[in-house]
């Protein structure tokens, strides 16, 4: 039976010119996670991360914290682990509804806009005019999971919260019609640098744990 550890990236740089860069808090979250994994295990036999900068930097912080040296696995970059394009989702929602989406708002106001826009995204279906429809996003995430599960385990994957939430929803809810709302609930509570464990056996993949973050002291717990 294989085990995959799905790690959400550390805190990115909300409100900056380049969101895809880890903040100082994000780097520390990754290092703390690495130290925890080095103690609590398991040490990965394979490492995969998405192609985004925040994915790569989180893996670098984890490896630094764990003091995994040259003998540690060389990470494989798999673009299927990339987050959905939230800016495209916000823009399409504004276009479809005439709503004004303000990207300069504070975190709480932005979160409200984000949740309304993503609900429209998963309800719209494949013909909703989105560059990547929600169903295609979920299918991409599932393909990434299957590819990672075929690697020697345990496998550590660094990805984004939306991807992890999509897989968690897919694994616990068999009814396709409610996967979107369940995804939305999962997506709002995933902590940066949290660990979600998936086991893969003869009957397929199953969700073992979701959003573990006991390694984080309270000041380092963030969700965006």
pLDDT at 106: 73
**188-203 pLDDT tens trace:** 999 999 999 999 998 9
Per mean pLDDT, which range of 12-16, 29-33, 158-162 is the poorest?
12-16
Band of the pLDDT at 3, cuts 50, 70, 90? very high
Asked if 22 and 62 touch (Cβ cutoff 8 Å), the reply is: no
Distance CA 91, CA 81 (A): 22
Residue 19 has pLDDT above 80, yes or no: no
**110-164 pLDDT tens trace:** 888 999 999 999 999 999 999 999 999 999 999 999 999 999 999 999 999 999 9
> What b-and-e string marks burial along 89-108, b requiring 16 or more CB atoms within 10 Å of the CB?
bbbbbbeeeeeebeeeeeee
Q: How far apart are the first and last CA of the chain?
A: 33
84, two tokens = 């959905």
Residue 15 has pLDDT above 70, yes or no: no
pLDDT at 162: 98
Neighbours of 164 (CB within 10 A): 27
Section 61-70 average pLDDT: 91
pLDDT at 174: 76
Residue 22 has pLDDT above 80, yes or no: yes
What 3-state class would DSSP assign to 6? strand
- Residue 37's Cβ-count burial label (10 Å; 0-12, 13-18, 19+) is buried
pLDDT at 201: 92
Band of the pLDDT at 178, cuts 50, 70, 90? confident
Band of the pLDDT at 76, cuts 50, 70, 90? very high
Q: Which of these, 195, 188, 166, 211, lies nearest to 58 by C-alpha position?
A: 195
Residue 18 has pLDDT above 70, yes or no: no
Q: E-assigned strands of the chain?
A: 2-8, 46-49, 76-77, 155-159, 195-201, 204-212
**43-53 pLDDT tens trace:** 999 999 999 99
pLDDT at 17: 55
Residue 54 has pLDDT above 90, yes or no: yes
């Amino acid at each position: 039976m294989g085990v995959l550890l799905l790690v959400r990236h550390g805190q990115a740089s909300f409100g900056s010119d380049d969101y895809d860069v880890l903040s100082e808090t994000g780097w520390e979250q990754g290092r703390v996670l690495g130290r925890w994994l080095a103690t609590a295990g398991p040490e990965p036999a394979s490492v995969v991360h998405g192609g985004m900068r925040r994915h790569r930097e989180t893996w670098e912080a984890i490896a630094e914290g764990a003091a995994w040296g040259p003998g540690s696995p060389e990470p494989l970059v798999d673009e299927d682990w990339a987050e959905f394009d939230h800016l495209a989702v916000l823009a399409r929602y504004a276009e479809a509804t005439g709503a004004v989406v303000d990207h300069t708002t504070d975190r709480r106001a932005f979160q409200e806009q984000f949740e309304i826009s993503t609900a429209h995204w998963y309800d719209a279906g494949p013909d909703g005019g989105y560059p990547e429809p929600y169903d295609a996003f979920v299918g991409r995430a599932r393909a990434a999971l299957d590819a990672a599960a075929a690697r020697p385990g345990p496998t550590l994957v660094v990805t984004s919260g939306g991807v992890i939430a999509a897989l968690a929803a897919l694994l616990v809810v068999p009814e396709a019609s409610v996967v979107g709302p369940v995804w939305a609930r999962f997506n709002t509570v995933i902590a940066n640098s949290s660990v979600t464990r998936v086991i893969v056996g003869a009957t397929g993949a199953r969700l073992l744990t979701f959003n573990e973050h006991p390694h984080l002291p309270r000041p380092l717990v963030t969700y965006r």
